[in-house]
Amino acid sequence: MEKVNSVNHLVFELISTFDEFTQNLEVAAGKFDEPVLLEIDADPELARSKMEAMAGREGLMIFSRLDHGQLLKLYGIKTKSFVYSIGNPLVAGSMTQINIAAGLYAPIRVMVYQEKGQALKVEYDQPSSFFSQFGDEISKVGLALDKKLYDLIIYADLGTTDFC
C-alpha cells in the first residue's frame, strides 16, 4: 500500500552572516556525545542524566555537522554550507518507543548556506509535517519540535526569540 505524506519544507532568509549564525548556533545548541550510549547498559539513569545535561537552548543538541560547501568545491562551486543533524536523543527515544519508524526522521537535518553576494539561508523540513504520519502522540512531539527548532534558529540569527 502506498501512503503519501505532504512535507512542509521551510526556507528562511536571515540577517546574520554564515560565520556569525553557525557560531551562534553551535554555542546555543548542545552537542551530543555519542559514547554516552555505551553507558546505558551499566547505568541507565546516569546515561539519561548525562544526555539531559548535553542539551542546549530549546533542549536541542547538534549530533553532527557536514561541511557541504567543502564537498561542492569538487564541482567548482564556492559556497559556505553546513548540514546539521539536530535533535535530542531522549525525545527521539520517547517517539521511537511508540513507533520505531519515527527514528527515520530523528535527528532533524538542517541546511545552512550562504552563496556569494546573497543572504544567509536556513532550510529544513518542518518536524510536525513528517512526524504526523505516526499518530497523535508523536504528532504532538513534532509540533513542539517545530517551535523549538524555529526558536533556536531565530536565536542564532538575532540573539533573541523575543520579537516584541
Report pLDDT digits (tens) over 10-41. Answer: 999 999 999 999 999 999 999 999 999 999 99
Query: Which bin fits 135, alpha (ψ -120 to 50), beta or left (φ > 0)?
Result: left
pTM for the model: 0.92
* Residue 69: inside a domain: yes
Rounded Cα gap, residues 99 and 95, in angstroms: 6
Region 87-101: mean pLDDT is 97
Residue 164 has pLDDT above 60, yes or no: no
Number of domains making up the chain: 1
**Tens of pLDDT along 130-154?**
999 999 999 999 999 999 999 999 9
* Residue 4: inside a domain: no
Sign of CA dihedral 129, 130, 133, 135: negative
CA distances from 142 to 3, 87, 123, 138 (A): 19, 11, 17, 6
* Residue 105: inside a domain: yes
**Residue 85 belongs to domain spanning:** 10-158
Residue 4 has pLDDT above 80, yes or no: no
Q: What's the CATH number where 130 sits?
A: 3.30.310.70
Mean pLDDT over all residues of the chain?
Answer: 94
For residue 65, what pLDDT is reported?
Answer: 98
Rounded Cα gap, residues 120 and 60, in angstroms: 22
* Residue 18: inside a domain: yes
* Residue 50: inside a domain: yes
* Residue 5: inside a domain: no
pLDDT level of residue 159 (50, 70, 90 thresholds): confident
* Residue 80: inside a domain: yes
